[in-house]
Amino acid sequence: MLRIEDYSFGRMVIDGTVYTSDLIIYPDRIDASWWRDEGHLLGEDDLEAMLEAQPEVVIIGSGSPGMMSVPKALRESAGRGGVEVIVRPTAAAVELYNELAPKKRVVAGFHLTC
C-alpha cells in the first residue's frame, strides 16, 4: 500500500517520491500525469478510468480550497455500482486516503493546487 507522507499546495510526497502535478493513486501504481478534460471539473471519463481498477472507494481531493467540482450525478452513478465516492479538499482527502487505504481497495485522484 502506498502512503502519502506529506501534502502542501502543489506538492505531494508518496513513499519518498515528490510529485508536483495532479495524480491518481491506484492500489498498485501512481498515474502522475492526471489532467481532466476540464481542469476544475471531474468528468465522466475521468471517473471511469478510476472505476476500471474496481475500487471499493474513490477519494477525490478537490484542491487546496476545494475548487474542483465533482457533479452529483457522477457520484450517484458510481454509488449505484457499489462504489463509494468521497470528495474533500485535498488535505482532508489525504488524511482519509491514509486512513482507508490499508483497510479497503481505494483509488484516489488528487488535484494538488486550487
If you average pLDDT over residues 36-45, what whole number do you get? 86
The CATH number of residue 67's host domain is 3.40.1230.10
Domain count, the chain: 1
pLDDT 10s digits, 14-33 = 999 999 999 999 999 999 99
For residue 79, what pLDDT is reported?
87
What pLDDT digit, counting tens, does each position of 52-101 carry? Answer: 999 999 999 999 999 999 999 988 988 888 999 999 999 999 999 999 99
Residue 59 belongs to domain spanning: 4-111
Reduced 3-state DSSP string for the chain? CCCEEEEECCEEEECCEEECCCEEECCCCEECCCCCCECCECCHHHHHHHHCCCCCEEEEEECCCCCCECCHHHHHHHHHCCCEEEEECHHHHHHHHHHHCCCCCEEEEEECCC
**Mean pLDDT value of segment 2-19:** 97
